[in-house]
Chains A and B, each alone.
Chain A
Amino acid sequence: MELIIAIAIGALTAAGIYRLLAGSRLDLLAGILLLSQAANLIVFASGGLLHGAAPLLHDATGPLADPLPQALVLTAIVIGFGILAFLLILLQRDSDNRP
């Protein structure tokens, strides 16, 4: 199972890089978005991929998923969100200023 996830991450990376190198501003944005998804998944995967073991301590039976990578990815998602939103601002400004 890990292989298929790894392949998915690889596909995201390849897609992101291909888009990034395509050139237009929108492509750059899309590429960064895809690459951040891939990076987030990498961090997430480092904690192990457990099903049905949400890190909530109320009805905890059995091993819990590692909460730290989840917190890290959450932070990374939010930061990525902020940055991508800013890139949209840049995109908007450039289109405003274009003659």
Chain B
Amino acid sequence: MAPLFHLLLPALLALAAVSSRRGWRWSPSAASGVIAALAAAAAGAALWSSAQGASVVFSHPWVAPLGVDFALRLDPFRSLFLGLVWGTTVPVILYSGLAFRDDPRLAGLLATLLLFAACMIGLILADDLVLFFLFWEGTSVLSFLLIGWNHAGAEARRKASQALLVTGLGGLALLAGLVLLRFATGAGSLGAAFGTDLSAHPLSTAIIVLIAAGAFAKSAQVPFHFWLPNAMAGPTPVSAFLHSATMVKAGVFLLALAAPALGAHPLWTPLLVTCGMLTVAAAVRRAWNETDLKAVLAATTLAALGHLTILAGIGTPAALKAFVVFLLAHALYKAPMFLSSGALEKAYGSRDLRRLRGAVFCLPIVGTAMVVSMASLLGLFPLPGFVGKEYFLKAAWAQSPALAIAAALSLAAVIALALRGLAPLLARGDLNLPAKSPGTALQLLPWISAAAALALTASFPWLSQSVLTPAAAAVGGTTGASVELWPGWGPSLVLSLAALLIGGVVAFHAARPAARPPASVGDTTYQTLLDALGRGSRQLASALQDRPLATHLGLVLGAAGLLIAPPLLAGPLPLPDLRVDAADTVPAVLARLTALSAAGAATARSRVALLVSLGLTGLLIALLYAYFSAPDLALTQLLTETILLVLMVAVLRWLPKPHGTPRRGSPLAAAGALSAGAVVTMLVIKAKALEFTPPVSQFFAERSLPDAHGANIVNVILVDFRALDTFGEITVLAVAAIGAAALLRKRRRPAVFDPTRSTLLSTALRLLLPPLFLFAAFLLLRGHNHPGGGFIAALVAATAAAFIHLSGRPAPSSRLDSALLVTGLSLAALSGLFAVAAGRPFLTGLWIKPDLPGDGPPLHLGTPLLFDLGVFLTVLGFALAFLRRLLPTTPSPVPSWN
């Protein structure tokens, strides 16, 4: 339960912070005090559990299908980290409460910081690989929000985005590495995965590269180091909390955990040691001429992370022991330094070191904390910094003397940087007095944290035995010896003294030009990449998107052709039957005429020619349908073609002529069209040759008369066997009619001629109407057994309606259309529901057979006939809607919905 408690506590504290309001008793500042106190207690609890030495695991299945558990582990190593996180939380929260007392966003800041702490603690405690990744990404996202806290400034936004993208990239690499790790070890938990020796596994190189990439991005190692100095754009508590003590440590935390499993791999040590060294060098180079206090501190943090990476890279139990000590020492001296810098910034209104001359003396409380911490950074005995460096050099020496010398030089570089950078604070003459006092509390804060550090140092034996040694054992395995304050005489001591000497000499004798800090190579590379990405993507998008319609159509057709052609051409092409029997002359002629008329439609220049060829093509196809035994089909084709052409003529009369000469088709289009035609021809030929199973439609011929009471099988299919298709079809028509009503809302143009002026015409039209309607009814009723049916009948009735329209009689309101549509569709649906009421599936036909006198053929009345009626009404409504809107007519009142 202990791990769960540590995970939930910061979340609860975040809630507490959010609930505070300025001006209440429970103000954010007050809340910060309480929260800090609780955090201190939690820190103590963490250290205490470290002293217990036991390893606690809490596990609960989470996403079982993917093998992910909610598993937490608390061992001495993690307890140490936990203690560091909580321990840093205390001063950070207190500082925020004090420094941002009057800021309206304080509650939000506290809550975000605490949520971050929850993620960080989750990361430390997570035992399941996926859970670990979850918290890893959580820290990245929260870090983004915190760096960009003052997001009004463009630079802050840019730097926050940079941090998120770089750590995000690393995160993705890490995810891949973790998945591979799971795959390689078959284990889902960190403990199990890192418990086996993986150095010989074939995937281990990939795993190392990916995990290292993730860790390097998070801990700002080369080549991902450039985001950390930029992250200082955030407020001071953020920099102190995230970017020096907690989030950046996550990477090296992971590396330390991974070292036992992967350390023996030949890539591990060179990769980590090299990158670590390069990071130290880059940090020192970057900050050598810095005048911003925070930047100098950031550089020393970066260097310390480099050193920790080197130690993880060495990977021996001794190195991991040094890791633990170095880690603790860094945390103990860094926190007071950041807090001091915050207090100084408040006092002087600036972080520029040139303005902070002699600050140590002007503000002695703060100054003491700063000096003590600096001494620890420099590695002076008997401070923890000294112990850390000693063990570092010892571990390096055990690996190889050359490495130890390189390590010592890197330490010297950091010492030089620190002395050079922070020297103005200790300047004696020409003191700068602070503009205002930062307040007692704010000054005491660094002093208290430095004092706490000293207290821990004073109790070093206890610290070593209860915390450091168990932690080192938990991560690296026991080495037997415990951590001592005085490591004894030896090469490490020599090297450390040498480092101190070299560093001091370099610091005091290096010239101090007024040069600006050099630009970061990483940052400029990042920016260049980003700009290239922007430019390249815009060019790509524009090239693909901003094209005329014909290009996109051609692209789709071409790509489809590429998909279809290979399988089509690959197989044997059956030789087509080239003979034309005498019996086949009719269809042959029809087919040839169709092809010619299609060619005419393709090449027609004028609209009239186009419409004529389209009409002709449609007619020929109808004749083909008729010839090949499809009477219903031929009728439908004929009627729809006619009405479509009429509508087209109506629309095109008023369509403005295109400007200039009609465009000639491009040869490319012609070539494409011809090849497409050839492909289709081949498709059809091939399809004809390959029938091999009896079609399902035999069933229809057998059952149409006995069970569905219809002799016109096609109609029976449409209203009974496959009624749902027809249902969808009339819905399509209804939607088209709705579309007509929705889009064409203006009144129509004046009539071509006024038919009411010609009584002969109106009389003739009026006389035609009743027969036409009767004919339509006749077609509807006989459709089930003879060619006819709802659709054809409706089109005939629509023709009649068109005559009404053209005859100049005032048209019925457009409400009639929607009434017809609604009634038709409802009737169709209802006809299917009768069956449901009788306990049968939807759209089942229910028939009654009234006993008729005499012995004529039996009459069957059933729900499919109702369905056909529904089809009739819908199609009629559709046709009316279109005729009304597209045909020219005399003006008539506009319906209210428009």
- Chain A positions within 8 Å of B, measured between CB atoms, are 1-24, 26, 28-30, 33-34, 37-38, 40-42, 44-58, 64-68, 70-75, 77-79, 81-86, 88-93, 95-96, 98
Contact = CB atoms under 8 A, between A and B. Distances in A.
Given A9-B680, A78-B636, A19 B791 contact: no
Interface of B: 548-550, 553-554, 557, 576-578, 580-581, 583-584, 587-588, 591-592, 594-595, 598-599, 601-602, 607, 610, 614, 617-618, 621, 624-625, 627-633, 636-637, 640, 643-644, 647-648, 651-652, 654-656, 658, 662-663, 665-666, 669-670, 672-674, 676-678, 680-685, 687-688, 691, 695-697, 700-701, 704-705, 711-714, 717-718, 722, 725-726, 729, 732-733, 735-736, 739-740, 743-744, 746, 785-787, 791, 875, 878, 882, 885-886
Given A44-B630, A55-B629, A89 B621 contact: no
B677 A14 contact: yes
B733 A4 contact: no
17 contacts: A5-B591, A5-B684, A14-B673, A20-B550, A24-B663, A37-B618, A44-B633, A55-B714, A56-B785, A57-B704, A67-B717, A68-B717, A71-B718, A81-B643, A89-B739, A89-B885, A89-B886
Contacts of A26: 607, 610, 652, 655
Contacts of A75: 718, 725-726, 729
B712 A34 contact: no
Contacts of B583: 51
B169 to A, nearest CB: 44
A47 B691 CA distance: 10
A6 B592 contact: no
Interface SS of chain B: helix, strand, loop or mixed? Answer: helix
Given A1-B577, A4-B588, A4-B592, A78 B629 contact: no
B550 A30 contact: no
Given A17-B673, A18-B673, A52-B629, A58 B599 contact: no
A53 B696 contact: no
B630 A6 contact: no
Given A45-B688, A82-B736, A2 B591 contact: no
Contacts of B735: 82
Nearest to A53: B629
A13 B630 contact: no
Contact of B743 (A11, A40, A89): A89
A66 B598 CA distance: 27
B746 A96 contact: yes
Contact of A95 (B648, B655, B733): B655
A3 B629 contact: no
A24 B637 CA distance: 26
In this complex, the member of B550, B648, B683 whose beta carbon has the largest number of chain A beta carbons within 10 angstroms is B648
B663 A10 contact: no
Contacts of B875: 78
A91 B651 CA distance: 8
A74 B331 CA distance: 80
Given A57-B701, A67-B701, A14 B629 contact: no
Contact of B598 (A11, A28, A54): A11
A46 B678 CA distance: 18
A11 B599 CA distance: 7
Contacts of A22: 550, 663, 665, 669
In this complex, the member of A53, A66, A92 whose beta carbon has the largest number of chain B beta carbons within 10 angstroms is A92
A95 B729 contact: no
Contacts of B672: 17, 21
Given A8-B592, A11-B599, A15-B601, 17 more contacts: A2-B576, A3-B576, A11-B598, A14-B673, A22-B663, A26-B610, A37-B618, A41-B621, A44-B628, A45-B684, A56-B712, A65-B629, A67-B713, A68-B696, A74-B632, A77-B636, A78-B636
Nearest to A29: B648
A89 B654 CA distance: 13
A81 B726 CA distance: 14
A9 B677 CA distance: 8
Contacts of A8: 591-592, 594-595, 598
Interface SS of chain A: helix, strand, loop or mixed? Answer: helix
Contact of A6 (B599, B684, B785, B787): B684
A88 to B, nearest CB: 5
A13 B617 CA distance: 12
A6 B717 CA distance: 27
A78 B644 CA distance: 11
B680 A30 contact: no
A21 B697 contact: no
B677 A82 contact: no
Contact of B548 (A23, A79, A84): A23
B588 A15 contact: no
A65 B662 CA distance: 44
Contacts of A54: 629-631, 787
A71 B697 CA distance: 11
B601 A78 contact: no
Contacts of B701: 55, 57, 64, 67
A52 to B, nearest CB: 6
A70 B629 CA distance: 9
A24 B605 CA distance: 12
A57 B733 contact: no
B679 to A, nearest CB: 8
Contacts of B682: 6
Contacts of B670: 18
Nearest to A33: B614
Given A65-B629, A88-B886, A20 B640 contact: no
B700 A91 contact: no
Contact of A10 (B553, B601, B680): B680
Given A34-B598, A50-B629, A65-B630, A17 B550 contact: no
B471 to A, nearest CB: 73
Nearest to B550: A21
A53 B601 CA distance: 32
Contacts of B662: 24
Contact of A5 (B587, B643, B663, B712): B587
Given A17-B673, A85-B882, A10 B678 contact: yes
B714 A70 contact: yes
Contacts of B557: 17
B712 A15 contact: no
B676 A98 contact: no
In this complex, the member of A15, A22, A33, A65 whose beta carbon has the largest number of chain B beta carbons within 10 angstroms is A15
Contacts of A37: 617-618, 621
B595 A11 contact: yes
A71 B722 contact: yes
B300 to A, nearest CB: 68
A53 B375 CA distance: 106
Contact of B685 (A6, A66, A91): A6
B576 A56 contact: no
A26 to B, nearest CB: 7
Nearest to A84: B644
B577 A12 contact: no
Contacts of A98: 656
A18 to B, nearest CB: 4
Nearest to B583: A51
A72 B725 CA distance: 9
Contacts of A44: 625, 628, 630, 633
Given A4-B587, A12-B594, A67-B701, A18 B713 contact: no
